[in-house]
Amino acid sequence: MTIEKKDCQSCTSSLEEFMIQLIGHEIRNPLTVIGGLANRIYEKIVKDKVILMSDKEIVKLKAIKKEADRVFGVMSIFDSFVKNPIFNKEETDIHIIIKKILMISSDDRIEFKEDFSLLRQVPIDVARMSFSLLNIINNAKDAVIEKRLTDKNHKGEIYVKTGEQEFENLNSKYFFITIENNGVQIPDELIDRISHPSFTTKDNGTGFGLAFAEKMTRQHQGHLKIESTKGKTSFTIFIPF
């Protein structure tokens, strides 16, 4: 039996959407309970002063609240993608999306820096771009945290830049989003493979995130450039406008 390529692509796309819906469902239900209980306990301590806890315990409770809120933010991006299965571009201020994701991704161990030079709205699929940027930034965070395992004094940084660029061999202008980190280097032999579906170097990885970002960029008629040297790794999304 022969399966047409377009049918395979359709099956893959449907599988991706099903996976995202399944993950969203499995995370949202227990997270609602955890976040709700953490908020209620926190209110009893801070507002009502009914429950007595040590300062250390309060710090831990705040950490639970913060992480629950962060995952709720991630889930809002999941929901946006699931509710908009059809690729749809609209003029958007990309910086609003980036700032939202940086807020969700905040981490006391990492300093986030911004350099926004793009001065116009750009045509993008908001849900897919948000999901892609979230995955790339999460990978950047993992690289920085892994670096800290071997160097406790390492000052982790993630630098997000936007701007415009023209290529001599192409007729259109491109806007770019660069996410740069100073974590562990990606080995040269893996650079061309890390965005392939199902390829991962992490024990708990799925190989889904960067593959999705690569696909999203191609859907926008753009390309994803990955560079890595000692002390500096960057992912740059180029999209024409």
pLDDT in tens, 191-213: 888 777 666 666 665 556 788 88
Q: Is the pLDDT of residue 123 over 70?
A: yes
CB-CB contact of 23 with 78 (8 Å): yes
* pLDDT for residue 204: 60
- Burial category of 25 from C-beta neighbours within 10 Å (exposed 0-12, middle 13-18, buried 19 and up): exposed
Residue with tokens 């953490």: 38
The whole-angstrom separation of Cα 14 and Cα 232 is 36
Nearest partner of 146 among 111, 184, 203, judged by Cα: 184
Contacts of 36 (CB under 8 A, 6+ apart): none
DSSP E strands in 3-128: the ranges are 90-92, 110-116, 122-124
User: Angle CA(53)–CA(54)–CA(59) in degrees, nearest 5?
Assistant: 95
How do beta strands 90-92 and 156-166 pair?
unpaired
pTM over 0.95: no
Residue with tokens 């696909």: 215
Mean pLDDT of the chain: 80
The whole-angstrom separation of Cα 210 and Cα 200 is 9
Give the pair of three-digit tokens for residue 116: 């926004």
**Sign of the C-alpha dihedral computed for residues 154, 71, 26 and 17 taken in this order:** negative
Query: Can you say how many angstroms the Cα of residue 131 is from the centroid of all Cα atoms in its chain?
Result: 6
The whole-angstrom separation of Cα 205 and Cα 46 is 38
Predicted confidence band at 28 (pLDDT cuts at 50, 70, 90)?
A: low
Summarised one tens digit per residue, pLDDT across range 29-68 is: 677 777 777 777 777 776 666 667 777 777 777 777 777 7
